[in-house]
């Protein structure tokens, strides 16, 4: 059985992670990181108007994953940089359909997107879902659009610590952790989770979430009560997400792509 507590910090819709974990077996866990030779070369599609469409879909992991699938955040960083250096690319549109994923690599990608948006027009289109880590990235663009039924937000970070000590005790198993460092080995299956252990994990989760909130405040210009309301872990649907300041407008993908292409053409003629 896959142990969530050993999988690091997540910014993902909890229900989806639980269903993914429930479908795993030890055999599927042999190779978590997808070997480079099995990963397709990352690429983007450039429209006639010079708009590079870069997809951010499925579960986000840093290097790509052998059983979750989804998107490598490192690959997307490479694509964003390539699009910025491509003279034929006048603007970038992130096409997002993701529940989020592991924290590793997400801030780096969000920062790369934010830097790109300071040099060329960079917008995001949410097609059905941008939650947690995926929304962290999407929030760093100039304007965010979504379809009417998109799930948007899920702002927050979480980790799981499972206390299986009573189960081990009933099974006649006693687990000893020989440690150098008070918090080494916390969460080892069969050991008790103490209040100090929980406080330490909360410290880590809160610290990482602080980076998420900082990005959200900067990218969406939210603060105070507005930021607090948007960052309570819930997702919001379409137009309701706009009321929370999470998106700018509900629209179709074709409409957004055409509008961005026309904008770049107009700017090109005026220069």
Tell which residue, 39, 63, 5, 45, has the closest CA to residue 261. 45
Phi, psi angles (nearest 5°) of residue 133: -60, -35
- Burial environment of residue 6 by CB neighbours within 10 A (0 to 12, 13 to 18, 19 or more): exposed
Domain range list for the chain:
4-160+222-270
Report the alpha-carbon distance of residue 51 to residue 95 in Å, rounded.
12
Mean pLDDT of the chain: 87
pTM of the model as a whole: 0.85
Q: Would you state the pLDDT for residue 270?
A: 59
Share of the chain above pLDDT 90, in %: 69
Q: Which CATH class is domain 4-160+222-270?
A: alpha beta
Report the alpha-carbon distance of residue 115 to residue 138 in Å, rounded.
13
For 140-186, how does the pLDDT look when each residue is reduced to its tens digit (9 = 90+)?
A: 999 999 999 999 999 998 888 889 999 998 999 999 999 898 889 88
How many CA atoms, within 13 angstroms, populate the side-chain half-sphere of residue 168? Answer: 13
Residue 2 in this model has a pLDDT that exceeds 80: no
Q: Would you state the pLDDT for residue 47?
A: 84
For 174-226, how does the pLDDT look when each residue is reduced to its tens digit (9 = 90+)?
A: 999 998 988 898 888 899 999 999 999 999 999 999 999 999 999 999 999 99
Residue 45 in this model has a pLDDT that exceeds 90: no
Q: Would you state the pLDDT for residue 235?
A: 96
Phi, psi angles (nearest 5°) of residue 226: -65, -40
Tallying the residues shown for the chain, one arrives at: 271
Report the alpha-carbon distance of residue 154 to residue 131 in Å, rounded.
5
Residue 14 in this model has a pLDDT that exceeds 70: no
Q: Would you state the pLDDT for residue 39?
A: 54
Distances (CA, A) of 39 to 35, 71, 112: 7, 10, 22
């Amino acid at each position: 059985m896959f142990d969530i507590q050993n999988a690091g910090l997540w910014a993902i819709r909890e229900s989806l992670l639980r269903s993914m974990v429930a479908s795993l077996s030890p055999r599927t866990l042999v190779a978590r990181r997808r070997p480079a030779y099995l990963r397709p070369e990352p690429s983007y599609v450039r429209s006639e108007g010079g708009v590079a469409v870069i997809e951010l879909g499925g579960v986000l992991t840093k290097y790509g994953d052998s059983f979750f699938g989804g998107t490598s955040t490192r690959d997307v960083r490479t694509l964003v940089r390539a699009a910025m250096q491509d003279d034929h690319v006048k603007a970038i549109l992130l096409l997002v359909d993701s529940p989020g994923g592991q924290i590793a690599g997400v801030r780096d990608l969000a920062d790369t997107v934010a830097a790109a948006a300071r040099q060329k027009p960079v917008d995001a289109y949410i097609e059905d879902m941008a939650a947690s880590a995926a929304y962290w990235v999407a929030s760093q663009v100039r304007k965010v659009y979504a379809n009417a039924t998109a799930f948007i937000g899920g702002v927050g970070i979480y980790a799981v610590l499972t206390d299986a000590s009573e189960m081990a005790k009933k099974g006649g198993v006693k687990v000893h952790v020989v440690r150098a460092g008070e918090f080494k080995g916390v969460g080892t299956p069969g050991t008790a989770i103490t209040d100090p252990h929980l406080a330490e994990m909360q410290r880590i989760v809160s610290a990482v979430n602080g980076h998420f909130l900082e990005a959200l405040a900067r990218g969406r210009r939210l603060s105070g009560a507005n930021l607090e309301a948007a960052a309570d872990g819930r997702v919001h649907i379409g137009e309701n997400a706009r009321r929370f300041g999470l998106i700018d407008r509900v629209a179709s993908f074709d409409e957004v792509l055409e509008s961005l292409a026309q904008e770049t053409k107009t700017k090109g003629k005026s220069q």
